[in-house]
Amino acid sequence: MRAKNVDFEVTYVNLQDKPDWFLEISPHGKVPVLKVDDEILFESNAIAEFLDETVPPRLHPEDPIARARNRAWTDYVPDFVKALNAIGYATTQEALDEGIANAPKAIARVEGALASRGNDGPYFNGDRLSLVDAAYGPMLQRFLLVEEHLQTGILNDFPLVKAWAGALLSNELVTGAVADNFAEEFVKNHLRRKTVAGSKMEARGMAAE
Ligand X SMILES: N[C@@H](CCC(=O)N[C@@H](CS)C(=O)NCC(=O)O)C(=O)O
For residues 159 and 111, what is the distance between their CA atoms, to the nearest angstrom? 8
Among 2, 4, 30, 188, binds ligand X (CB under 6 A): 30
Of 29 and 112, nearer to ligand X (C-beta) is 29
Strand segments (E) across 37-99: 39-42
Task: Give me the least distance between CB of 33 and ligand X, in Å please.
Answer: 9
Any idea of the CA torsion for 155, 159, 163, 168, to the nearest 10 degrees? -50
Q: Binding segment for ligand X among 24-32, 105-113, 115-123, 176-184 (CB under 6 A)?
A: 24-32
Q: For residues 34-63, which are near ligand X according to CB under 6 A?
A: 43-44
Q: HSE-up of 159 (CA within 13 Å, CB side)?
A: 2
For residues 51 and 133, what is the distance between their CA atoms, to the nearest angstrom? 15
Total residues at interface with ligand X (CB under 6 A): 7
Among 1, 31, 178, 191, binds ligand X (CB under 6 A): 31
Q: Which helix (H) or strand (E) holds 78?
A: helix 77-88
Of 158 and 174, nearer to ligand X (C-beta) is 174
* Tally of CB atoms within 10 A around 195: 24
Of 27 and 159, nearer to ligand X (C-beta) is 27
Q: For residues 124-183, which are near ligand X according to CB under 6 A?
A: none
Among 6, 15, 108, 179, binds ligand X (CB under 6 A): 15
Of 74 and 125, nearer to ligand X (C-beta) is 74
For residues 44 and 122, what is the distance between their CA atoms, to the nearest angstrom? 23
Q: Give yes or no for residue 207 binding ligand X (CB under 6 A).
A: no
Output helix, strand, coil percentages for the chain, rounded to the nearest 5: 60, 5, 35
* Tally of CB atoms within 10 A around 151: 9
Of 12 and 176, nearer to ligand X (C-beta) is 12
Chain residues binding ligand X by CB under 6 A are 15, 29-32, 43-44
